[in-house]
Each structure stands twice: as structure tokens, then as C-alpha cells.
Amino acid sequence: MARFKSSAWGLAVAIALVALVLPLMLPSYALATECLIFAMAALGCNLLLGRLGLLSFGQAIFFGAGAYCVGILSLRFGTGIVAGLLAATAVSALLAVAIGWLATQRTGVYLIMLTLALSQMFFFLCYAAPDVTGGDNGLMNIPRPNLAFGGHELLSLASPFAFYVFVATICTVAFYLMARLIASPFGATLEAIRDNEDRAVAIGYDTRLYKVIAFVAAGAVTGLAGGLYALALKFVPLANVDLAMSERIIVMTILGGTNALFGSMLGSIAVVVLSYVLSDIWARWQIILGALLVAVALYLRGGLASLLDKAVARANEGARP
Amino acid sequence: MSVNLLLTQIVNGLGIGMIYFMIAIGLSIIFGIMHFINIAHGAFYLVGAYLCYALVSATGNFWLALALAPLAVGVVAWLAEPGVRRLYDLPASLQILATLGLALVIQEAVILIFDPLGKNVAAPAGLRGAAFFGSFVYPKYRLFVIVFTAAVAAVLWFLLERTRYGAVLRAGTESMQTVELLGIDISRIFSLTFAVGAALTALSGVLAAPIRGVEPFMGVEALSIAFVIVVIGGIGSFTGALAGGLLIGVVQSVMTTFWAAGANIMIYVAMALIILVRPHGLLGRA
């Protein structure tokens, strides 16, 4: 996994390969699209938890805000797809400034509790404003605009395949940019803060500022994922801002592993595909998922990415004379 | 709003608040002592409520459920604690992952055994109907809940403030290491505390069942409220949890008549503000 960490290009290639293979393994483009979208949502959480050790129960705020943003813009104002997604990213990033600034006033359990409170607050705000969010019913019949530039239509995104390619491209770029971010001096500073915040402060870093910036990056990519999810479903349910959505993103992140960004892709695929396969076989499939989460917490602390790590290490050993 | 309606909502809030208090105190003490974030805590409440439903359906005897359900949950928790202990030393993220998983397993098992639909539980025969206080009319069962929980709270207060076990617990909230160095078997304390917290939460599930019925997702809702109360009252604080529970119960109950969603927004705003301004809670020790 060190390979992936050191090279953003390596990660981008790996993500592109996964995006290429995924539709071959799965029964529909819709399912593959969901895998990639949640990989991006988990990517934000991965940055906070893996690089900074901050566990946020508020990721559904960003995911939901991005989805509502795209939904409202394309439903009410007929905004184009690029402008809609950019707005979703920007709005979530702005929200992340506020959430990050508030949440990072505290550390440890209190930070977790703060993000939980803010997340619930946001949920009930969305619930209480049906004029904006559709309340309990959500926003329905959201159009998926075609990709256009300056009034010229470039690509129709109506087919599941075309939309999948669109999402896969964005997802690959998002992973690449995130890898660049954590490989930069900024990323190294985040790790220094995670490992010993007092020392980072003593050296002269404004650690709160770094944490807020990390929140903004995490919020932006999660909001973008939310915006894409609105276009994928053509529907924005209230469930997007539910506490269960934050939990889902956290589960994918930790299950995948936070030592490498690639873990988020693994965690997302595992949860999305597992839900799909198992829910067909057994209505109470979540018992299996729950048991799996307990097992991972006890026996596979590095998450699924650490399995890959071990496999790579073993292959390298085998290759040596 | 008439005075009687307001009074009814306030007294309703007291009853619900006492139930909240009993859920929160277990969570609070377990977190204070073991530093264990138990997302599966709501499952004790869920199981307590469903045991009540099952026992009342089978025997028609609510009092049997009131005695047996907390006992059963407490014993299971006591037996399970040495297994759960493996989670205490894990980082918060893995504790949350594991207990989220556990909560999911228990919730789905409840649906598997019963079904996903909500069910009503009848109040015990002697407590059906209403009591009259002049022009103020109030359901007898809810009155019983307030009196009964007040008695439980009194016993709990005595246990925590006036016994050796309580002294060890309070010291443990400060530093479990010191307690261990003093030669106290903390392993027994952990098991007992986990069991007492679980039993209290199951008891609140039993008491809540005739008021709100049972449904498989009631545990999640209870957990969220319990976190609010623990934060508002201060981790490990008995009076804090009591005051926090009553406050949230009354605010929620009175606000539902005006603006239900607003009540929930207010509650979480209060939670966030308290963490920001007074992280040790309104009544917690700094």
C-alpha cells in the first residue's frame, strides 16, 4: 500500500482500473455507480479519520447538502450538471467551514458528540423545511441534465452507461486530488497533528486551522458525492441527511481501512455489494453485516485495505529469490 | 392552550424524562468508568420493551415482565461483559464500528423473532383508565411510571452515593487506574456496572412499552436522546442525568403541541452549545 500512498498517479490508475472492472463484475451500471459515489463519500471521512484521527458523525450533513443543492438547482432553476455539481461542492465546503470550526473547538469524544449534535440538528432542520427539502417525501423527479458547455451539448448522460463513465471520471480525479493533498506538506502536517497535537502547536502550527481545512476538503468531496447521488437516483430522500447515513459512511471508511485512501473504495464496494447480494437472499441480511463489523473491529483493525497490504507483501516475498 | 393541557404535557414530560434518565444513567456510568462508547446501549431498551411485549402477550401479567425483563437483560449483560471487555482498549472508531454492528445484529434479530411492525402493549389491569384530581384528569399508568421511577432513582442514588460500590464507581470516573492500585478488583466492578446499566435500560424499555408501544427502531431513537442527556448532565453525573432527562422530557413534551420538529432542533442546539460552553455538562464536575 506504500506504493499507493507515495504516488497519487498510482492511486488514480488503481481507481480507474477498479472503475473499469466493476461493471463487469456487477449486474448493473446503477450498482457500480453507487459503489463509486459512496467511495467518494467515504474518502472525505477517510481524510478526517485516517490523517487526523477525527471521527465525524456529521458526514451526512455534507452528503445531504450536496444532494439537496443539485436537486433544488436542477428541479427549480434548470441549472446545468456542471454548475449544479460545482455548487453542491461549494455549498458543502462552506458548510464544512462552519461545522469544522465548531467541531474542532473540542477533541476526542466531545468532538464526536458535537458532530452528532450538529448532524441531528441539520436533519431536523431539513425535516422541518418541506418547502425547501420536500420534508419527509424528499425531492422527486429530479432531471439529469446532459453534459453541456456554452449551450452546446457534449454528451447525453441519460443512459446508465454514460452516467457511470461520468461518475467514474469524477471519482478518479477526486481520489487523485485527495492523494496529492495528503502527499503534500499539508498532509504531512495533518499526520503530525494526529500523532502529537501538542508538539505541532509547539512547533508553531495553527492546528485548528489545519483541521478546519481538512474538514473543508472532506466536506467538498462528500458534497460532490451527494450531488452525484441525487442525479443517480433522480430523487433526494430525507434519508440522505439521516444519522444512519453518517453511520453508513463511517462504516464504509473503517471497514475499508484508513491507512490508505484506497480503503474507502474497498469499504464502499464491500457494503454496497454485500447489501445487494445478501438482501436478495435473506431479508434480515443486516445480521451478517453487523457480525462482520464486529469481526473487523476485533480481528482486522486495519480494515480491508490491510488484507490487500498483506497480499502484496506476501507476493513480494514470493518474488524474492 | 389551557392550563390543564399544559399541565398534562408537563406531567407527561416528567414521566418520559424519568424513562430517559434511566437509559442515560447506564450509558453515562459505563462511559465514565470504562471509557466505552456503546452504540448498542439502545438495544438494551429495545430488548427490554420486546420482552415486556412477549411476556404480557403470553401471560397477561405486566408485573412479571417488570421483574423478569430487567433481570434477564442484566444477567445476560453480566455474563457478556468479559467478552465485551475486549473492546475497551480499542480506539473510539473501532468501538463504534463494533457496537454499531452489535446494535444492528440485535435489532435485526428482534425483527426476525417478531416482525417489523409496531405493536401495542396493554397497561396492567389495575392501572388502566384515568385518575381524577378535581378538573385535572391523568392516565393512571403514566402516574405509576413517575412514582415507580422516582423510587428506582432514590434506590440508585443511595447505591451510588452511600455504598462502598458507589464510592468505587465515583472514584473510578476520576481514575480507574488509581482505584485498581488501591487493590480493588475492577474486573468485578466492570461486570457489575455493565449489568446494572443494562438492567436499568431494559427496565425503562418495559416501562415505556405500554406508553409508546414497541417497534424495532425504538433503540436507535433512545440512544440518540441518551447521548444528549449524558452530554447535558455531564458524564458520570447522577444528578446531571436526572436533571437532563427531566429537562429534555418536559421540553419535548410541551413543544410537541407547538412545533414537534422544533423541539428536536432545540434539543440538539442545546447539546452542541453545552459541549462548546460547558463540556463537563451543566452539573458535571470539571
B6-35 pLDDT tens trace? 899 999 999 999 999 999 999 998 888 888
State residue B60 phi and psi, 5-degree precision.
75, 5
Confidence at B284, pLDDT banded by 50, 70, 90: low
Confidence at A2, pLDDT banded by 50, 70, 90: very low
Beta-strand runs (E) in chain A: 147-149, 152-155
Confidence at A321, pLDDT banded by 50, 70, 90: low
The range of the structural domain enclosing residue B207 comes to: 3-216
Report the percentage of chain B scoring pLDDT > 90. 64
3 state SS of A153: strand
| C-alpha distance from B140 to closest chain A C-alpha (Å) | 33
A219-244 pLDDT tens trace? 999 999 999 999 999 999 999 999 99
Cα gap A166→B170, rounded to integer Å: 58
B247-261 pLDDT tens trace? 999 999 998 888 877
Q: What is the predicted pLDDT for the residue at B285? A: 61
A104-121 mean pLDDT:
92
Taking an 8 Å cut-off on Cβ atoms, the answer to whether B97 and A118 are in contact is no
A22-69 pLDDT tens trace? 999 999 999 999 999 999 999 999 999 999 999 999 999 999 999 999
- Residues in B closer than 8 angstroms to A130, CB to CB, are none
Confidence at A320, pLDDT banded by 50, 70, 90: low
Q: What is the predicted pLDDT for the residue at B18? A: 96
B173-199 mean pLDDT:
88
A152-201 pLDDT tens trace? 778 888 899 999 999 999 999 999 999 999 999 999 999 999 999 999 99
In a domain, B133, yes or no: yes
Nearest to B143 by CA among B155, B156, B128: B128
Taking an 8 Å cut-off on Cβ atoms, the answer to whether A251 and B228 are in contact is no
In a domain, B88, yes or no: yes
Cell 480499542 appears where?
A: B90
Q: What is the predicted pLDDT for the residue at B35? A: 85
Q: What is the predicted pLDDT for the residue at B286? A: 52
In a domain, B239, yes or no: no
In a domain, B58, yes or no: yes
- Residues in B closer than 8 angstroms to A113, CB to CB, are 227, 231, 271, 275
Residue A246 has pLDDT above 80, yes or no: yes
- In angstroms, what is the C-alpha Rg of chain B? 19
Name the β-bridge partners of B131: B138
In a domain, B67, yes or no: yes
Confidence at A5, pLDDT banded by 50, 70, 90: very low
Q: What is the predicted pLDDT for the residue at A1? A: 44
B56-91 pLDDT tens trace? 999 999 999 999 999 999 999 999 999 999 899 888
Q: Locate A81 and state its grid cell.
A: 450538471
Count of domains in chain B? 1
In a domain, B229, yes or no: no
Task: Locate the chain A residue with the closest alpha carbon to B270.
Answer: A117
Taking an 8 Å cut-off on Cβ atoms, the answer to whether A287 and B108 are in contact is yes
Cα gap A274→A57, rounded to integer Å: 23
B96-149 pLDDT tens trace? 999 999 999 999 999 999 999 999 999 998 898 888 888 888 999 999 999 999
Q: What DSSP string describes chain B?
A: --HHHHHHHHHHHHHHHHHHHHHHHHHHHHHHHH----TTHHHHHHHHHHHHHHHHHHH--HHHHHHHHHHHHHHHHHHHHHHHGGGTTS-HHHHHHHHHHHHHHHHHHHHHHS-SS-B--PPPGGG-SEEEETTEEEEHHHHHHHHHHHHHHHHHHHHHHHSHHHHHHHHHHH-HHHHHHTT--HHHHHHHHHHHHHHHHHHHHHHHHHHH-B-TTHHHHHHHHHHHHHHHH-TT-HHHHHHHHHHHHHHHHHHHHH-HHHHHHHHHHHHHHHHHH-TT-SSS--
Residue B1 has pLDDT above 70, yes or no: no
Q: What is the predicted pLDDT for the residue at B258? A: 81
- Residues in B closer than 8 angstroms to A296, CB to CB, are 97
Torsion of CA B90, B93, B96, B101, to 10 degrees: -90
In a domain, B258, yes or no: no
- Residues in A closer than 8 angstroms to B97, CB to CB, are 250-251, 254-255, 293, 296-297
In a domain, B251, yes or no: no
User: In this structure, are residues B141 and B123 in contact, taking their beta carbons and an 8 Å threshold?
Assistant: yes
CB contact set of A72 (below 8 Å; sequence gap of 6+): A132, A139
- Residues in B closer than 8 angstroms to A105, CB to CB, are 276
The residues of A whose Cβ lies within 8 A of any Cβ of B are: 49, 55, 102, 105-106, 108-110, 112-114, 116-118, 120-121, 124-125, 127-128, 243-244, 247, 250-251, 254-255, 258, 284, 286-287, 289-294, 296-298, 301
| C-alpha distance from A210 to closest chain B C-alpha (Å) | 19
